[in-house]
Every structure is written in C-alpha cells, then in structure tokens.
C-alpha cells in the first residue's frame, strides 16, 4: 500500500507502478495484492512519474519463504512401552509450526486399532484395546501441511496363568464360604 503526490499535480496514487526485482510488474494503484511471489528475497518498488516525467520511487525488501510443515513430538507414552489392559495411558505431545507457532491444542490422537482417541496436547485414556497399537499424533497448519509422529504401545492380553490363578483363588474362596455356612447350619 502506498501513496504518491506531486506539489503541482496533487494526488498521483492511482499511477503508482509496483514491481518486484524477481517477478517483474505486480500491478498499479495505491494498493496491490498478490499471492504469486516466487520464493526468495524480493525488492518491491513503487514508482511514479508526474506529467513532466519527474520520477519518484520507494522500495522495501520482502522475504518469501516456503511454508514448512509443523513438527510434532510425542513425549508420552514412550515408544515400545507396555501397559496393562485398563491402566490409564497419558498421551502427551507438542506441535509447533514455523509460520503458525504453537499448534499443540490442535493435535489429533489416533490408534491403528481403536481409531480416533481425542485431541489436545495432554489427555488420558484407560480404554485402549488389547494388542500392539501404533499411536499417532497429527496436526495441520494454516497452509494445510501435516505434522505427524508415531509411537508403538503394547497392551498385552492377560496371561493364561494369571487368569487361571484368579479362577483358583475364586474357587478356594467359594469353598471356604460353603464350609463356613455348613458348619454354622
């Protein structure tokens, strides 16, 4: 956006010619908008001449950088961790983007076994199914680029031995209860 004026001719804003040293002409007038600048360091010039051919010019440097994807880091659970079925699992992560900044609240968590798990930088789940999970944390920046991270989490099936021990303990408890009732009666 710019303005131009001449002591003799007055307002010359409509005659400003905008150019980029990398891309050439950008348009005319007091304001020009473009989303087509090439990557790199540009010198943008606003040039105008009065009716007598006397020039006026102003320049500014503009850096056009590529849109970089956000980075996502999973801090919990640790990759390869094992938790018992039904135990709480903390899902903790961060997401940052060079252009958009902190995107942690936009993290979407999922499991290849259980599907979508929720969103945010910190949540707890106690309902993960048994098996080996590939837990994913994804975030999308304003340029539609995706940041992604994965960890493996194992929720083993209860062992047959612990199931058998639990069953035997139940039978012993029932047997003692029956004996106690029959000796009372």
Task: Report pLDDT digits (tens) over 144-179.
Answer: 999 999 999 999 986 644 555 566 666 666 666 565
Please indicate, yes or no, if residue 171 is contained in any of the structural domains. Answer: no
Pairing type for strands 5-6 and 108-111 reads unpaired
Q: Assess whether 76 and 141 both reside in one domain.
A: yes
Q: Assess whether 127 and 82 both reside in one domain.
A: yes
Task: Report pLDDT digits (tens) over 9-21.
Answer: 888 889 899 999 9
Q: Which CATH number does the domain housing residue 105 bear?
A: 2.60.40.10
**pLDDT score for 97:** 94
The model's pTM: 0.58
Residue 118 has pLDDT above 80, yes or no: yes
Q: Assess whether 51 and 123 both reside in one domain.
A: no
Please indicate, yes or no, if residue 111 is contained in any of the structural domains. Answer: yes
What 3-state class would DSSP assign to 170?
A: helix
**pLDDT score for 161:** 46
Give the chain's domain count: 2
Please indicate, yes or no, if residue 164 is contained in any of the structural domains. Answer: no
Reported as a pLDDT band with limits 50, 70 and 90, residue 182 is: low
Rounded distance between C-alpha atoms, residue 132 and residue 80, angstroms = 9
Q: Assess whether 111 and 140 both reside in one domain.
A: yes
Average pLDDT, the chain: 87
What residues make up the domain containing 77? Answer: 71-155
Q: Assess whether 97 and 38 both reside in one domain.
A: no
Please indicate, yes or no, if residue 161 is contained in any of the structural domains. Answer: no
Provide, rounded to the nearest whole percent, the portion of the chain with pLDDT above 70: 85
Residue 152 neighbours by CB under 8 Å, 6+ apart: 79, 80, 132, 133, 134, 135
Q: Assess whether 78 and 26 both reside in one domain.
A: no
Residue 132 neighbours by CB under 8 Å, 6+ apart: 113, 152, 153, 154, 155
């Amino acid at each position: 956006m710019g303005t131009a004026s001449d002591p003799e001719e007055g307002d010359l804003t409509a005659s400003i010619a905008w150019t980029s040293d990398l891309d050439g002409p950008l348009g005319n007038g007091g304001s020009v908008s473009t989303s087509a600048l090439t990557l790199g360091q540009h010198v943008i010039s606003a040039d105008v001449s009065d009716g007598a051919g006397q020039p006026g010019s102003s320049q500014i440097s503009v850096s056009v950088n590529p849109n970089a994807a956000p980075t996502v880091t999973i801090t919990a659970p640790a990759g390869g961790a094992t938790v018992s079925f039904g135990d709480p699992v903390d899902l903790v992560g961060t997401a940052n983007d060079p252009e958009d900044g902190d995107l942690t609240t936009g993290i979407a968590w999922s499991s290849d076994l259980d599907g979508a798990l929720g969103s945010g930088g910190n949540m707890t789940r106690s309902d993960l199914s048994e098996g080996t999970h590939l837990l994913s944390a994804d975030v999308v920046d304003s340029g539609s680029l995706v940041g992604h991270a994965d960890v493996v989490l194992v929720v083993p099936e209860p062992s047959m031995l612990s199931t058998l021990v639990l069953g035997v303990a139940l039978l012993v408890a029932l047997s003692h209860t029956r004996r106690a009732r029959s000796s009372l009666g």
